[in-house]
Homo-oligomer: A and B are copies of this chain.
């Protein structure tokens, strides 16, 4: 259809018999305008249903007061809380937030970055998992001095801040907790082989085993299959379910397992119940995140709580600091403490 032609400043100016500049002043509420003129203009604005063109405005002003947030997926409560916290912090400062989803694909990460840069956002918060293509592009964008903050992992670029939970220590403490309870055969659910060096929670797990001289049994570490392609949104739970099934089929099955996150733990719990086994007596389970549902499963889930909202707030602050900076900003990073929440899903190992 023939879209109604956009009403412009000039239209309003013509209609109310003043200059475009005067209309601009009225619309933006700055500069001096006589009450009389103001009213005349405002009348025309209402009458013609005028909306200023943000594109033109931003083009001229060289800023958009908009920030982008790139998320790997939406299915994890982690993303949700983070996004809310970021949004709240930013909107309190008059910034808009546009969220992009990349579905954990490097290609889509790039598409999201492009889209945001194309729209000249004032800064980007990145909370996707690290991947080569995405990192490379992000690096280039950071080179152009666009403010960037990364959440949940680090990013080695002098112009990029990052904030993350202490996943390593969290993983360590979760595992340590199980060891303290007397468990020796402890599974890890949710790690693909290629995560070995990037997944801090897995590293914490390995470290705890090492500290107690428990040999690592590769078969106890299970994760998504090779074909990561078939792993869409909600798969984390599916991974937990399948991972636990694999652990249960082992000749010498573990007496406890640490799941990469709560969703994975929920899947694992389902598999255990389905096998007619009991939690925590046959198998103890620890999750990670302390999602809202964690306290409501039966039994309630022992898990590691990470400060999701705080990460979002800090990320927003870091970004605003960069956006507003008038001189060079020194890189900043924050690693936040996690907290082990012991509930019913863990208990001392049977002897």
Residues of A within 8 A of B (CB): 1-4, 49, 51-59, 64, 66, 73-75, 77, 79-81, 83-84, 87, 91, 96-101, 103, 108, 111, 115, 117-120, 140, 143-145, 232-234, 237, 241, 266-267, 269-270, 273, 292-293, 296, 298, 325-329
Contacts and interface: CB of A to CB of B under 8 A. Distances in A.
A74 B84 contact: yes
Contacts of A120: 53-55
Given A145-B3, A237-B296, A119 B119 contact: yes
A160 to B, nearest CB: 14
Given A80-B233, A145-B4, A56 B59 contact: yes
A249 to B, nearest CB: 19
A58 to B, nearest CB: 5
The 3 A-B residue pairs with the shortest CB-CB distance, nearest first, are A54-B118, A98-B98, A96-B115
Copies of this chain: 2
16 contacts: A3-B145, A51-B117, A55-B55, A56-B59, A75-B77, A87-B101, A87-B103, A91-B111, A96-B115, A96-B118, A237-B292, A241-B296, A269-B296, A270-B296, A293-B293, A298-B298
Contact of A100 (B51, B97, B233): B97
A35 to B, nearest CB: 26
A50 B117 CA distance: 12
Given A59-B53, A140-B49, A234-B292, A1 B329 contact: yes
B273 A293 contact: no
A51 B233 contact: no
A49 B293 contact: no
A217 to B, nearest CB: 27
A145 B143 CA distance: 40
A52 to B, nearest CB: 8
Nearest to A115: B96
A66 B101 contact: no
Q: Which of A64, A120, A329 has the most CB of B within 10 A?
A: A120
A34 B190 CA distance: 52
Contacts of A91: 108, 111
Given A119-B119, A270-B296, A296-B270, A79 B84 contact: no
A264 B84 CA distance: 20
A156 B73 CA distance: 33
A55 B119 contact: yes
A49 B233 contact: no
Contact of A84 (B1, B84, B233): B233
B99 A98 contact: yes
A180 B318 CA distance: 58
Contacts of A100: 96-99
A57 B99 CA distance: 22
Contacts of A2: 326-327
Contacts of A59: 53, 55-56, 59
A296 B267 contact: yes
Given A54-B120, A55-B58, A55-B120, 6 more contacts: A1-B328, A3-B145, A53-B120, A66-B115, A91-B108, A119-B119
